[in-house]
Amino acid sequence: MELSDQLKQTLDALKEQFPNGLSVLMPALHAVQAAHNHIPAELEQPLAAYLAIPAEIVHEVSTFYFMFNNRPVGRHHIYICGNLSCWLRGAETLRDHLADRLGIQPGETTADGRITLSVVECLGMCDHAPVMLLDGEFHPDLTVETVDRILAGLS
Protein backbone atom coordinates (compact mmCIF):
# COMPACT_ATOMS: atom_id res chain seq x y z
CA MET A 1 0.00 0.00 0.00
CA GLU A 2 1.23 3.47 -0.89
CA LEU A 3 0.49 7.00 0.28
CA SER A 4 -1.86 8.67 -2.18
CA ASP A 5 -0.67 11.75 -4.02
CA GLN A 6 -3.25 13.74 -2.18
CA LEU A 7 -1.93 12.59 1.18
CA LYS A 8 1.58 13.36 0.07
CA GLN A 9 0.49 16.90 -0.76
CA THR A 10 -1.03 17.26 2.68
CA LEU A 11 2.14 15.95 4.26
CA ASP A 12 4.30 18.28 2.21
CA ALA A 13 2.25 21.23 3.43
CA LEU A 14 2.58 20.01 7.02
CA LYS A 15 6.32 19.59 6.71
CA GLU A 16 6.54 23.32 5.99
CA GLN A 17 5.01 24.10 9.35
CA PHE A 18 7.21 22.03 11.63
CA PRO A 19 10.91 21.86 12.32
CA ASN A 20 11.21 18.12 11.71
CA GLY A 21 9.49 15.04 10.33
CA LEU A 22 8.64 13.67 13.73
CA SER A 23 6.56 16.70 14.62
CA VAL A 24 4.51 16.11 11.51
CA LEU A 25 3.58 12.63 12.65
CA MET A 26 0.49 13.41 14.71
CA PRO A 27 -1.08 15.72 12.13
CA ALA A 28 -0.07 13.20 9.48
CA LEU A 29 -1.84 10.37 11.28
CA HIS A 30 -4.94 12.53 11.58
CA ALA A 31 -4.75 13.06 7.83
CA VAL A 32 -4.23 9.37 7.10
CA GLN A 33 -7.19 8.48 9.25
CA ALA A 34 -9.36 11.12 7.59
CA ALA A 35 -8.51 9.64 4.21
CA HIS A 36 -8.62 5.95 5.09
CA ASN A 37 -11.10 5.70 7.97
CA HIS A 38 -8.35 4.22 10.17
CA ILE A 39 -4.56 3.92 10.17
CA PRO A 40 -3.92 0.99 7.84
CA ALA A 41 -1.02 -1.04 9.19
CA GLU A 42 0.48 -1.24 5.71
CA LEU A 43 0.68 2.55 5.53
CA GLU A 44 2.84 2.94 8.61
CA GLN A 45 6.06 2.01 6.81
CA PRO A 46 5.46 4.28 3.82
CA LEU A 47 4.45 7.11 6.14
CA ALA A 48 7.58 6.61 8.20
CA ALA A 49 9.70 6.64 5.07
CA TYR A 50 8.01 9.80 3.82
CA LEU A 51 8.67 11.60 7.10
CA ALA A 52 12.13 10.04 7.42
CA ILE A 53 11.39 8.67 10.88
CA PRO A 54 11.47 5.11 12.23
CA ALA A 55 8.39 3.00 11.52
CA GLU A 56 8.50 1.83 15.13
CA ILE A 57 7.76 5.36 16.30
CA VAL A 58 4.82 5.59 13.92
CA HIS A 59 3.41 2.40 15.38
CA GLU A 60 4.11 3.53 18.93
CA VAL A 61 2.19 6.70 18.34
CA SER A 62 -0.67 5.13 16.42
CA THR A 63 -1.22 2.60 19.21
CA PHE A 64 -0.82 5.10 22.06
CA TYR A 65 -3.48 7.63 21.20
CA PHE A 66 -7.01 6.46 21.62
CA MET A 67 -8.43 8.40 18.67
CA PHE A 68 -6.18 6.68 16.17
CA ASN A 69 -7.94 3.53 15.05
CA ASN A 70 -5.61 0.67 14.23
CA ARG A 71 -8.49 -1.27 12.74
CA PRO A 72 -11.32 -0.24 10.44
CA VAL A 73 -14.24 1.53 12.10
CA GLY A 74 -17.76 2.22 10.95
CA ARG A 75 -18.75 5.07 8.67
CA HIS A 76 -20.09 6.70 11.77
CA HIS A 77 -18.17 6.57 15.01
CA ILE A 78 -20.06 7.17 18.23
CA TYR A 79 -17.96 8.24 21.22
CA ILE A 80 -20.24 8.08 24.21
CA CYS A 81 -18.81 9.43 27.43
CA GLY A 82 -18.85 7.03 30.37
CA ASN A 83 -17.03 9.15 32.88
CA LEU A 84 -18.27 10.37 36.23
CA SER A 85 -20.34 13.44 35.41
CA CYS A 86 -22.06 11.70 32.52
CA TRP A 87 -22.49 8.51 34.50
CA LEU A 88 -24.14 10.47 37.31
CA ARG A 89 -26.68 11.59 34.76
CA GLY A 90 -27.48 8.29 33.15
CA ALA A 91 -24.67 7.53 30.69
CA GLU A 92 -24.77 3.85 31.52
CA THR A 93 -28.41 3.57 30.55
CA LEU A 94 -27.64 5.29 27.27
CA ARG A 95 -24.67 3.06 26.62
CA ASP A 96 -26.80 -0.04 27.16
CA HIS A 97 -29.52 1.43 25.02
CA LEU A 98 -27.10 2.13 22.19
CA ALA A 99 -25.61 -1.32 22.43
CA ASP A 100 -29.10 -2.85 22.29
CA ARG A 101 -30.23 -0.73 19.39
CA LEU A 102 -27.08 -1.40 17.39
CA GLY A 103 -26.79 -5.03 18.44
CA ILE A 104 -23.12 -4.65 19.33
CA GLN A 105 -20.94 -4.29 22.38
CA PRO A 106 -18.93 -1.14 23.04
CA GLY A 107 -15.76 -1.31 20.99
CA GLU A 108 -17.51 -3.12 18.14
CA THR A 109 -18.77 -2.14 14.73
CA THR A 110 -22.15 -3.11 13.29
CA ALA A 111 -21.98 -5.99 10.84
CA ASP A 112 -22.87 -3.69 7.94
CA GLY A 113 -19.84 -1.55 8.80
CA ARG A 114 -22.08 1.43 9.41
CA ILE A 115 -21.56 2.34 13.05
CA THR A 116 -18.84 1.86 15.64
CA LEU A 117 -19.68 2.35 19.29
CA SER A 118 -16.92 3.46 21.64
CA VAL A 119 -17.34 4.30 25.30
CA VAL A 120 -14.82 7.02 26.03
CA GLU A 121 -13.52 9.02 28.95
CA CYS A 122 -14.64 12.55 29.79
CA LEU A 123 -15.20 14.64 26.66
CA GLY A 124 -15.00 18.00 28.42
CA MET A 125 -18.73 18.48 28.00
CA CYS A 126 -19.77 17.56 31.53
CA ASP A 127 -22.06 20.59 31.78
CA HIS A 128 -24.12 18.88 29.07
CA ALA A 129 -23.95 15.37 30.46
CA PRO A 130 -24.63 12.83 29.24
CA VAL A 131 -22.95 13.57 25.99
CA MET A 132 -21.62 11.98 22.87
CA LEU A 133 -19.35 12.96 20.03
CA LEU A 134 -20.50 11.69 16.67
CA ASP A 135 -18.66 12.37 13.43
CA GLY A 136 -17.13 15.57 14.76
CA GLU A 137 -20.19 17.04 16.46
CA PHE A 138 -21.15 16.98 20.11
CA HIS A 139 -24.65 15.91 21.08
CA PRO A 140 -25.42 17.38 24.49
CA ASP A 141 -27.91 16.55 27.22
CA LEU A 142 -28.80 13.18 25.78
CA THR A 143 -31.87 11.17 26.61
CA VAL A 144 -33.00 7.85 25.24
CA GLU A 145 -35.30 9.78 22.93
CA THR A 146 -32.62 12.09 21.54
CA VAL A 147 -30.31 9.12 21.05
CA ASP A 148 -33.00 7.36 19.03
CA ARG A 149 -33.54 10.46 16.96
CA ILE A 150 -29.82 10.79 16.26
CA LEU A 151 -29.54 7.14 15.27
CA ALA A 152 -32.53 7.51 12.96
CA GLY A 153 -30.79 10.40 11.22
CA LEU A 154 -27.69 8.39 10.33
CA SER A 155 -27.15 7.23 6.79
Partner 1 sequence: MDKFTVTINGHTIEAKPGQSVLQTALDNGIHIPHYCFHPGLPVAGNCRMCLVEIEGVPKLQIACGTTVRDGMVVWSNNDRVRQAVRHVLEFLLINHPVDCPVCDQAGECGLQDYYMLVGRYDSRFAENKVVKHKKATPIGRWVMLDQERCILCSRCVRFTREITKTNEMAIFNRGDHAEIDVFPGGELRNRYSANIVDICPVGALTCRDFRFRCRVWYLKQAPSICPGCARGCNIAIHFNPERPHHAGGRRVLRFKPRPNPHVNAFWLCDDGRYSYPFIDDHRLRFAALREEGGVRQLYLKDALDRLADWLRASRSGRTAYLLSADSSNEELFAARKLLRDALGVRCLLPDTGLRTGDADDFLICEDKHPNTRGARILFGLGENDPVAPDRLEAGLGAELPELLLVNRADLPSPLRDKLLAAGTRLVFLGTNDNATAAAAHLVVPLVVFAEQAGTFTNFEGRVQKFELAVPPLGDAAPEWSVHQGLAERLGIDLAFPGPAAIFRQLTAEVDAFRGLSHESLTPHGAMIRHE
Partner 2 sequence: MSERILSKRFDLADSHTIGVYEATGGYATARRVLQELTPAQVTDEVKKSNLRGRGGAGFPTGLKWSFIPKDTDRPVYLCVNADESEPGTFKDRHIMEKDPHLLLEGIIISAFAIGCHQAYIYIRGEYIPQIRRLRAAIQEAYGRGCLGRRVFGSGFDLEVAVYTGAGAYICGEETALLESLEGKKGYPRLKPPFPAVVGLYGCPTIINNVETLANVPAILEKGGDWYAAVGAHRSGGTRLFGVSGHVIRPGVYERPMGYSLKQLIFEDAGGILDGRALKAVIPGGSSVPVLRADEIDIALDFESVATAGSMLGSAGVIVMHDGTCMVRALQRLIHFYKDESCGQCSPCREGTGWLLKIINRIIRGDGRPEDVAVMRDVAEGILGNTICPLGDAAAMPVISFVTKFRDEFEHYIRHKRSAVPAPVK
Site for ligand FES in 114-133 (CB under 6 A): 122-126, 129, 131
Q: Smaller CB distance to ligand FES: residue 21 or 106?
A: 106
- Length of the chain in residues, anyone? 155
- For residue 28, count CB atoms less than 10 angstroms from its CB and return exposed for 0-12, middle for 13-18, buried for 19 or more: buried
Q: What is the dihedral of CA 11, 15, 17, 21, to 10 degrees?
A: 120
Site string for partner 2, 82-101 (x = CB under 8 A): xxxx-xxxx-xx--------
Determine the Cα–Cα distance for residues 151 and 7; give it in Å rounded to an integer.
31
**Number of neighbouring beta carbons within 10 Å of residue 46:** 18
Judged by CB under 8 A, does residue 35 bind partner 2? no
Shortest separation between residue 70's beta carbon and partner 1, angstroms: 9
Name the site residues for partner 1 (rule: CB under 8 A). Answer: 41, 44, 54-57, 59-60, 63-64
Site string for ligand FES, 71-100 (x = CB under 6 A): ----------x-xxxx--------------
